[in-house]
Amino acid sequence: MITLIRWILWPVSLIYQCIVWIRNLCYDRGIFKSTTFDIPTIVIGNLAVGGTGKSPMTEYLINLLSPHYRLATLSRGYGRKTKGFYYVQTDSEALQVGDEPLQFKRKFPHITVAVSEDRCAGVRQIMDSHDLILLDDAYQHRKLKPGFSILLLEYRSLHRPVLMLPTGDFRDNFSAIRRADLIVITKCPDHITTEHKRHIEQKIKKYSAAPILYTRIAYDTPLDKIGKAIQSDIVGMDTLLFCGIANPKPLIAYLESKGNKVHPILYRDHHNFTEKDYSHIKQAYERMSSSNKLLLTTEKDFQRLDIMVFENYPLGYIPIKTTFFDEDDKIFDNAVQNYVQQHFVNKP
């Protein structure tokens, strides 16, 4: 039914595609003005809605760059109920700053994390006290012209027709990849064939000569409510998984591959949990008869929870990280580091 409705809305997708094309043309021709800044600015973005792995890629960059530079991340703060500029603190709430910025701050308390729907205003607010800024999900925010753009494309999306919203999932024309300095194919299967790579690269190289790199998502050790590794082996457990992420299928498949029987309770992306949700989750967990059971969520969902609700429950969450194939991490690291270093070499 949803697919049928999407195809009925195909004329709307054509109109939207035209609007996006005209908007990009106006920026490309200088009719609409973009602002550049005298500080390294790295954008991490995508062309489609949904989970392409921006958060783990941002965390990869934080780990790569923060030991050497005064680094800040700037996000829109999707899902927050506030407007304007905010510095994110470790005790902030997701409703105030968004779940992903809160995750960055709690995971990397030594860096500056800020949110602002106006990226240019946000950069001006923090640029004087930092060496570089990572802009999460700002590929379409063309009022700001970044110094370096990293475009993420999910592997599965490249094997389907490129259709614009609302019929498809793309929010920008595929030709927009020409603005990227690095193109990263995310969430690849563990064994990607040379033939599949060739198919992807033929599609992309019509528009861009940027390096094309390949990554997959790796699931880390599950953590408990206070961030300590869960000591018990989670293999073969009855697992009640509740989450509000764009695509939970890879996580479910991962847990099942470890012999877990997964009982999923799924919500829309960035879902704000209610008392009714908490009650439903706890009741579902209590109905599970197995003594070898686990209550699990994602790291992003964990930021939006009222942890005290689960005070008497063995709640855990599972972090994810980006891992590159072959030697692609060296290509990626060198390209990013060279961009940042070049700025300081050329600075008067």
- What sections of the chain are H helices per DSSP? 2-8, 10-28, 54-65, 94-97, 99-107, 119-126, 194-204, 249-257, 275-287, 299-302, 328-346
319-342: per-residue pLDDT in tens?
999 999 999 999 999 999 999 999
What pLDDT score was predicted for residue 51?
A: 79
* Average pLDDT of the residues in 257-262: 90
Of the pLDDT bands very low, low, confident and very high (cuts 50, 70, 90), residue 129 is very high
What is the C-alpha separation between 174 and 214, in angstroms, rounded? Answer: 18
208 secondary structure, DSSP code: -
* Average pLDDT of the residues in 291-307: 93
Of the pLDDT bands very low, low, confident and very high (cuts 50, 70, 90), residue 105 is very high
What pLDDT score was predicted for residue 233?
A: 65
- 5-9, 102-106, 218-222: lowest mean pLDDT where? 5-9
pLDDT reading at 175 higher than 90: yes
Of the pLDDT bands very low, low, confident and very high (cuts 50, 70, 90), residue 237 is confident
> What does the mean pLDDT of the chain come to?
93
What pLDDT score was predicted for residue 339?
A: 97
Of the pLDDT bands very low, low, confident and very high (cuts 50, 70, 90), residue 283 is very high
Residue 325: Cβ within 10 Å count: 16
30-78: per-residue pLDDT in tens?
999 999 999 999 999 999 887 789 999 999 999 999 999 999 999 999 8
What pLDDT score was predicted for residue 312?
A: 92
What pLDDT score was predicted for residue 230?
A: 85
* Average pLDDT of the residues in 237-254: 92
179 secondary structure, DSSP code: G
What pLDDT score was predicted for residue 3?
A: 74
What pLDDT score was predicted for residue 259?
A: 86
Name the residue among 135, 154, 156, 157 with its Cα closest to residue 146: 135
135-169: per-residue pLDDT in tens?
999 999 999 999 999 999 999 888 888 888 888 88
pLDDT reading at 180 higher than 70: yes
* Average pLDDT of the residues in 121-143: 96
* Average pLDDT of the residues in 244-268: 92
pLDDT reading at 112 higher than 70: yes
What pLDDT score was predicted for residue 31?
A: 96
pLDDT reading at 1 higher than 60: no
What pLDDT score was predicted for residue 348?
A: 59
pLDDT reading at 232 higher than 80: no
* Average pLDDT of the residues in 5-10: 79
Of the pLDDT bands very low, low, confident and very high (cuts 50, 70, 90), residue 318 is very high
What pLDDT score was predicted for residue 186?
A: 96
What pLDDT score was predicted for residue 35?
A: 97
Domains and CATH numbers, the chain: 11-217+324-342 (3.40.50.300), 221-318 (3.40.50)
Q: Which residues have C-beta within 8 Å of that of residue 87, sequence separation ≥ 6?
A: 112, 113, 114
- % of the chain with per-residue pLDDT over 70: 98
**For the residues of 226-260, what is the DSSP string, one character each?**
TSPBP-S--TT-EEEEEE--S--HHHHHHHHHTT-
Measured at the alpha carbon of residue 192, what is the angle toward residues 184 and 154, in degrees to the nearest 5?
35
178 secondary structure, DSSP code: G
What pLDDT score was predicted for residue 266?
A: 97
